[in-house]
Each structure stands twice: as structure tokens, then as C-alpha cells.
Amino acid sequence: MRLVLILLSIFILSGCEKNEKIVFDTPNTQVENERAKVIFQRCQRCHGMKAEIQALTRSDIIAHYSKNDLIQALTLYQKGKRDRHRFGFLMKGIIVDLSSDDIRVLSDYISKIEDKN
């Protein structure tokens, strides 16, 4: 009986993972893209008009990120749990007021920005 309980506990706990990836496959609507375009203006000073440059010559080129990678990175920056290239405090200040939906539409917009224009 103990063995059954131990195995059952292991089975249940093995499904509990802290680093779950959230997948948002629904593309932005035209209205959401317009909203994302306005939000993206915050990013352009450092990341460029099409997210094509390294912020302060050190960051990754975010136009190459997938939508889900952007969602994950922005969410972690917003929560103060990411400090890549020591920009965590700066990024958090820029995006602190964004909702999770704002982050979703912004991430979709940036991930497809190379397709625009």
C-alpha cells in the first residue's frame, strides 16, 4: 500500500512544473495590431523601428524572438525576475503598467514585425 501511495505521489508531482510555457497561437486582430503599434513606440528608442537593433549595443535583436519567447521575457522583466544584460530595472520601468493582454498583442506584433512594410 505504501508503495502505491509513493508511486502515486511521484506521478502527481511529476506533472507539477514551475516553468510552464504559455502558448498563445491566436494572431492579433487589426485593432490589436494598432494597439500594439502604439505600445511598441516605447520600445523603438532602444530596439529600433522594426526591432532590428541591439538595445544599447548589448541586447538580443528582439525581432528574431518568437511570440512565446517574447511573452515569457516581457513577463519576467515585468515581475523583476529577468535581468538580461543588466537591463532588468530599465525594462521593468518601461513595461510595468502593461496588462498580460498588452504583452500578448505586443509580442505578436514584434514577432511578425519583419513581415510588415
Domain boundaries, the chain: 24-115
Task: Please report where in the chains the cell 513595461 appears, as a residue.
Answer: 95
Is residue 97 very low, low, confident or very high in pLDDT (cuts 50, 70, 90)?
very high
Is residue 14 very low, low, confident or very high in pLDDT (cuts 50, 70, 90)?
low
Contact 103, 74 (CB under 8 A): yes
Query: What's the pLDDT at 85?
Result: 86
Whether the predicted model's global pTM rises above the 0.85 cut: no
Q: Please calculate the CA angle 76-82-38 and round it to the nearest 5 degrees.
A: 55
CATH class of 24-115: mainly alpha
User: How many angstroms separate the CA atoms of 12 and 9, rounded?
Assistant: 5
For residue 60 the three cell numbers come to 538580443
Torsion angle of C-alpha atoms 62, 65, 71, 72, degrees rounded to 10? -100
Residue 39 has pLDDT above 60, yes or no: yes
For residue 53 the three cell numbers come to 537593433
Write the burial class of residue 26 (CB in 10 Å: 0-12 exposed, 13-18 middle, 19+ buried): exposed
